[in-house]
């Protein structure tokens, strides 16, 4: 039997904090926190294994609020359980530079594991957390000592389940038997537009059964039922669990509960007064009685849990010192001390070989060289692994070997990328994911979230231009590279040959402050000869590949497959410099002196060439320069015919140089 509302004082603390903070901000979503308060009470006070004194404790349970608009639920939980999130922080909800932004944002409040808000991505991140936990456990746990052993709890709502990404991620979670993933569905039947039955009539229970999940149904306001379901979820080790919690949105608000009115707007002062009466809550706004704080306080319990785990890890380190050191290294995000030296030795080998091969093949060779040195690599592809060449000789699929290092994601570009974000956030892994560049579009928002959250995720994209050929305009990327380059905190590399491809991989692996997109060709690309100094400059993102013969009169800037066109034009021209710019983001970070040495400001005669949308390059060539590239979609034909048809040729480059120098 459900406890009367006014007797649920501990859970009601969430309700009053949520409605008070939203009211003070005059903005926000009180409905979900008030509706899910009873679920949160049980999960956080009885089951969550975490330590507010050390939010980064390695073996903590992970919590994801996928319905991120209900952020005050999470902020209230963090505050009440003892994290460094004060009542003043809650009073600053949704204000500039506060620790409590409108949606949970990684890096603002301690205890926030991921940025949520774009619906469905939170649960996909949660799948990534659970995948990382399972894989890390299989790689490091021993029969006698388990050092990786935690759950991932996720709250989500109707909106998350309507988003297609929830299908992609949850389907894979069932296939991979992620038994430590527990998802609580806030089944309140309300979205912003009203009652969802008019646009969301899925049989959610049958849907998740079909994925291979355990599905339990409870009254989301019955603590005993929630407790029993959670115990059952923890006991089921082979399947993830969905707990469908029937709830009333905004529970406690006499006039607005159960209605869309309380979804995304403050309740209003009069309604808050009535709600306080209904809850039996007599304290002023933002005042929580001492006994309530005591009931929520998780610091002592969390410290005891971490201390016990530290003792377990010490025993593990004594018995398995090599594994313990490797786990600590990987968890810290540090690469092996000798990685850079080994990477540079490999790059020197690649240069000596001077191979003319597709850059996708050069990428595979780089993976083959680097991955055996990096046990933290967790690769994967949205199908197409045989085309984008992301498999390597040591790759083992996690679907058959839980301790593996490769995920066959299936045709799930968006789900794959958001799952990889979760893997990176968990720690212990550097994930790379792959598809054709064109189908980055399916993953676009998850790529943005990689960058927003500053996660080391490597996005591998092949078949990078009209050079794809016969598959035609549906498969030929035009505007995608510009879109990636326009994404803050994302490095986008488009290498021109084997050396640049190897260096792009090294750069991506070393870059701990954000993601990297690596863009590779289908077709063979001619090897370019370089000095040691030029090889060192590749990492700077742009460099002089071919120095002008005689006085400098014009500059050709090129990337990827079009560098060879620039070099062919160079052979027929005097006074022309060729600049290869595989990563413009790195180039613009260089000091003024270096950039001026590569692109002298007084040389206005500039031509850029890239088989992609022209608009990006005006910033480098100026409006008085020329850009050779694409302004339309492609066509279906062999690649050589397409380059000729669209005027991306050596002759066109020569003509453009003559025009800008006339």
Residue 413 designated active-site: yes
The whole-angstrom separation of Cα 510 and Cα 508 is 6
Residue 156 has phi, psi (to 5 degrees) of -145, 170
The whole-angstrom separation of Cα 437 and Cα 471 is 13
**DSSP letter string, 416-448:** HHHHHHHHHHHSS-EEEEEEEGGGHHHHHHHHH
The whole-angstrom separation of Cα 1 and Cα 285 is 30
Q: Residue 465: which of 563, 328, 544 has the closest Cα?
A: 563
Q: Could you give the C-alpha distances from 519 to 71, 303, 435, 461, 505, in angstroms and in order? A: 36, 46, 10, 5, 11
**DSSP letter string, 192-211:** TTEEGGGT----HHHHHHHH
The whole-angstrom separation of Cα 580 and Cα 500 is 10
The whole-angstrom separation of Cα 290 and Cα 168 is 45
Q: Residue 222: which of 5, 532, 418 has the closest Cα?
A: 5
Q: Could you give the C-alpha distances from 102 to 67, 383, 478, in angstroms and in order? A: 12, 36, 35
Active-site option among 133, 413, 500, 562? 413
Nearest-5° angle of CA 331, CA 389, CA 476? 115
Q: Is residue 502 within 8 Å of residue 366, measured between CB atoms?
A: yes
**What share of residues in the chain are helix, strand, coil (percent, to 5)?**
50, 15, 40
Q: Is residue 635 within 8 Å of residue 627, measured between CB atoms?
A: no
Q: Residue 634: which of 460, 461, 471, 435 has the closest Cα?
A: 471
Nearest-5° angle of CA 126, CA 518, CA 331? 45
Cα dihedral across residues 295, 300, 301, 302: positive or negative: positive
Residue 201 has phi, psi (to 5 degrees) of -115, 20
Residue 65 has phi, psi (to 5 degrees) of -95, 90
Cα dihedral across residues 402, 408, 410, 412: positive or negative: positive
DSSP, collapsed to helix, strand or coil, labels residue 29 as: coil
Exposed/middle/buried for residue 134 (C-beta within 10 Å: 0-12, 13-18, 19+): buried
The DSSP call for residue 4 is: P
Residues serving a catalytic function are 413
């Amino acid at each position: 039997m459900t406890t009367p509302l006014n007797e649920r004082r501990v859970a009601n603390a969430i309700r009053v904090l949520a409605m008070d903070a939203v009211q003070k901000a005059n903005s926000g979503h009180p409905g979900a926190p008030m509706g899910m308060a009873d679920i949160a009470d049980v999960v956080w006070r009885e089951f969550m294994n975490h330590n507010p004194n050390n939010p980064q404790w390695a073996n903590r349970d992970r919590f994801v609020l996928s319905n991120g608009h209900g952020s005050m639920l999470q902020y209230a939980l963090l505050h009440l359980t003892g994290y460094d999130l004060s009542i003043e922080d809650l009073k600053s909800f949704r204000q500039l530079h506060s620790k409590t932004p409108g949606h949970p944002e990684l890096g603002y409040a301690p205890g926030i594991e991921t940025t949520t808000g774009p619906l469905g991505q939170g649960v996909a991140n949660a799948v990534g957390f659970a995948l990382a936990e399972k894989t890390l456990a299989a790689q490091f746990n021993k029969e006698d000592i388990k050092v990786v052993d935690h759950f991932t709890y996720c709250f989500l709502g109707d909106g998350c389940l309507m988003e297609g990404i929830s299908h992609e991620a949850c389907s894979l979670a069932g296939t991979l038997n992620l038994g430590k993933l527990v998802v609580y569905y806030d089944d309140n039947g309300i979205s912003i537009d009203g009652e969802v039955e008019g646009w969301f009539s899925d049989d959610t229970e049958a849907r998740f059964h079909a994925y291979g999940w355990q599905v339990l149904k409870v009254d989301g306001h019955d603590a005993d039922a929630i407790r029993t379901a959670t115990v059952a979820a923890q006991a089921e080790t082979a399947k993830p669990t969905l707990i469908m919690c029937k709830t009333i949105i905004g529970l406690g608000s006499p006039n607005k509960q159960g209605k869309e009115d309380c979804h995304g707007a403050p309740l209003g002062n009069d309604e808050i007064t009535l709600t306080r009466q209904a809850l039996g809550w007599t304290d002023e706004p933002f005042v929580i009685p001492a006994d309530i704080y005591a009931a929520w306080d998780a610091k002592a319990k969390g410290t005891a849990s971490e201390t016990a785990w530290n003792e377990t890890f010490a025993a593990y380190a004594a018995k398995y010192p090599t594994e313990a050191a490797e786990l600590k290294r990987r968890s810290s995000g540090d690469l092996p001390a000798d990685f850079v030296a080994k990477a540079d030795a490999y790059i020197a080998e690649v240069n000596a070989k001077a191979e003319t091969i597709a850059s996708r093949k050069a990428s595979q060779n780089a993976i083959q060289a680097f991955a055996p040195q990096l046990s933290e690599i967790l690769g994967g592809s949205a199908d197409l692994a045989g085309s984008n060449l992301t498999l390597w000789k040591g790759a083992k699929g996690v679907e058959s070997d839980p301790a593996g290092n490769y995920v066959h994601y299936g045709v799930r570009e968006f789900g794959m990328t958001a799952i990889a974000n979760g893997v990176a956030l968990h720690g212990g892994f550097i994930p790379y994911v792959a598809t054709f560049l064109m189908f980055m579009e399916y993953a676009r928002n998850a790529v943005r979230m990689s960058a927003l959250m500053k996660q080391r995720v490597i996005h591998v994209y092949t078949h990078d231009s009209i050079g794809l050929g016969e598959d035609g305009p549906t498969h030929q990327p035009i505007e995608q590279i510009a879109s990636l380059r326009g994404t803050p905190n994302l490095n986008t590399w488009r290498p021109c040959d084997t050396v640049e491809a190897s260096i792009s991989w090294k750069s991506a692996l070393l870059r701990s402050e954000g993601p990297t997109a690596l863009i590779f060709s289908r077709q063979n690309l001619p090897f370019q000869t370089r000095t040691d100094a030029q090889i060192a400059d590749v990492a700077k993102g742009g460099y002089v590949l071919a120095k002008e013969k005689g006085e400098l009169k014009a500059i050709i800037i090129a990337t990827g497959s079009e560098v060879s066109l620039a070099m062919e034009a160079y052979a027929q021209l005097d006074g022309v410099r060729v600049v290869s710019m595989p990563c413009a983001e790195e180039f613009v970070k260089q000091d003024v002196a270096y950039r001026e040495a590569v692109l002298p400001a007084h040389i206005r005669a500039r031509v850029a060439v890239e088989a992609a949308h022209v608009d990006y390059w005006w910033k480098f060539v100026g409006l008085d320069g020329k850009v050779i590239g694409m302004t339309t979609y492609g066509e279906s034909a062999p690649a050589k015919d397409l380059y000729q048809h669209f005027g991306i040729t050596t002759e066109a480059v020569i003509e453009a140089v003559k025009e800008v120098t006339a």
